[in-house]
Amino acid sequence: MATDIRERYPLRTLVEGLSFPESARWRDGWLWFSDLVSGQIRAVDGAGQEMEVIDSPDEPGGLGWLPDGHLLVVGVTERKLLRYNGRRLTEFADLSGLTDYYLKALLVDSAGRAYVSCSGYDDQKATAPQPSQLILVEMNGTARRVGSDLLLANGMAITPDRQTLIVAETASQRLSAFDIAADGSLDRHRVWGRLAGLTPGGLCLDREGAVWVASPLSSEVLRIREGGEILDRISIPGNPTSCVLGGDEGKTLFVTVAALLPPRPGSGRIEAIPVAIGATDKGAPFGSARCTR
């Protein structure tokens, strides 16, 4: 029986008054996240003190860093990948020719290749689910489709050995996995863990190879091992959208929380929860192996 971790570790609200926070990332002592409705990318320290705010021309989605330290930002509705050089956002890649619907999550690997998830249908209008692929963007901005048959692909993570990509399929209620080829292509699509009745979104890996995943509609985050066994689950008031392991020892689980039904700007927040098993490493240089949404 999974134990409610709140019996051992209390929730601590780190930031309040947000519009729709998601895409939590930890890098160099800062917690970064997108505030979708306000159109901003924000960074706060471990105490919740605001460090930086970036205004985006589009609804910002997934976040990730290139090897040169520049931040990549998903432009959700215009279907573009943007690059922030510390001064301004510019277009890095136009992905509108590779998908008819909006973009979602971002995962940048240690070589600087960016994986972008997207919807294969208009899930906001409740049309019938249609499969989609991921989009792989190279360092030079060229892009192509990889992977296959994903129903509402969402958060992603890469295992520390760089051999496997794990992706949440929200509409399929499961986590899936692919083998990563030398050129970044994805092969051998398989089920990593079935999550019947849950809605997996943003996720991250811990040092034991388990995945923490946000499940917005069931109002919880869950720790899952390969095969689908639930090791821990935490009830979160509201709708958790993403999670990431960070903090000084990599043992704080940061969870972005928004109101989905209906959306209520100003009600978004970030919770911080101490956990026993830390991140895959304390300072992944590009934030790539730990988490995205």
283 pLDDT more than 60: no
- The pTM of the full predicted model, rounded to 2 decimals, is 0.92
Homologous superfamily of domain range 3-292: TolB, C-terminal domain (2.120.10.30)
195 pLDDT more than 80: yes
262 pLDDT more than 80: no
Residue 220 CA from chain centroid, whole number: 15
Written as six digits, the tokens of 168 are 């949440």
Calculate what percentage of the chain has a pLDDT beyond 70. Answer: 90
The confidence score (pLDDT) of residue 286 equals 35
The confidence score (pLDDT) of residue 10 equals 81
Spatial CB neighbours of 100, under 8 Å, sequence gap ≥ 6 = none
Contact criterion met (CB below 8 Å) for 166 and 159: yes
- What b/e sequence results for 115-137 when a residue is b if at least 16 CB atoms lie within 10 Å of its CB, and e otherwise? bbbbbbbebeeeeebebbbbbbb
Contact criterion met (CB below 8 Å) for 213 and 229: no
Inter-CA distances, 278 with 41, 180, 208, Å? 25, 24, 8
Q: What confidence tens digit (pLDDT) does each residue in 88-122 have?
A: 999 999 999 999 889 999 999 999 999 999 987 77
The confidence score (pLDDT) of residue 71 equals 98
56 pLDDT more than 90: yes
Q: What confidence tens digit (pLDDT) does each residue in 138-179 have?
A: 999 999 999 989 998 999 999 999 999 999 999 999 999 999
Domain ranges within the chain, ordered by starting residue: 3-292
The confidence score (pLDDT) of residue 126 equals 59
The confidence score (pLDDT) of residue 127 equals 65
Burial category of 219 from C-beta neighbours within 10 Å (exposed 0-12, middle 13-18, buried 19 and up): middle
Q: Does the CA dihedral 86-62-246-260 come out positive or negative?
A: positive
99-103, 211-215, 250-254: lowest mean pLDDT where? 99-103
Contact criterion met (CB below 8 Å) for 203 and 156: yes
Both ends of the chain: CA-CA distance in Å? 28
Q: What confidence tens digit (pLDDT) does each residue in 14-48 have?
A: 999 999 999 999 999 999 999 998 999 999 999 99
State the average pLDDT for the chain: 90
Contact criterion met (CB below 8 Å) for 184 and 223: no
User: What single letter denotes the amino acid at residue 129?
Assistant: P
Written as six digits, the tokens of 243 are 């999670």
293 pLDDT more than 80: no
Find which of 1-15, 127-141, 220-234, 269-283 is predicted with most confidence, using mean pLDDT. 220-234
